[in-house]
Amino acid sequence: MSENCIFCKIANGQIPSEFVYESDNVVVFNDINPQAPTHLLVVPKVHIETLNELNDKALMAELLAAVKAATKKLGISDYRTVINTGKGAGQEVFHLHIHVMAGREFSWPAG
């Protein structure tokens, strides 16, 4: 738990939120500023700043398993996943998260 980290507060229930999906170490909730009709954030409960600091392979697996479980639960088979790592890549919240977006066309390469 990192003080003043919004995702720590959400993941640990300090800010009441509705989870689309939850496993032992991961929560999935809706992005507050959705960039697609469905825009989920897949977030570890423990505070990890970026993908560069994620070394726990079991947690890596659990994060991807949560992507699959949450999309399956919502009946979504086609989706875009994004991990912004570092300011230069557009990361704004420094608590690791996987964006999962669906429900519209996505261009490639990503902007």
Applying CB under 6 A, which of residues 61, 90, 103, 104 lies at the interface with ligand AMP? Answer: 90
Cα separation of 95 and 59, whole Å?
14
Catalytic position from the list 39, 95, 97, 99: 97
Applying CB under 5 A, which of residues 95, 96, 99, 102 lies at the interface with Zn ion? Answer: 95
Question: Which part of the chain contacts ligand AMP (CB under 6 A), choosing from 51-59, 63-71, 72-80, 88-96?
Answer: 88-96
Contact present, 97 and 50 (Cβ < 8 Å): no
Cα separation of 29 and 6, whole Å?
13
Q: Bridge partners of 41?
A: 29, 99
- Nearer CB in complex with ligand AMP: 90/103: 90
Can residue 2 be called a binding residue for Zn ion (CB under 5 A)? yes
Enumerate residues 46-85 that contact ligand AMP by CB under 6 A. Answer: 84
Applying CB under 6 A, which of residues 3, 18, 78, 92 lies at the interface with ligand AMP? Answer: 92
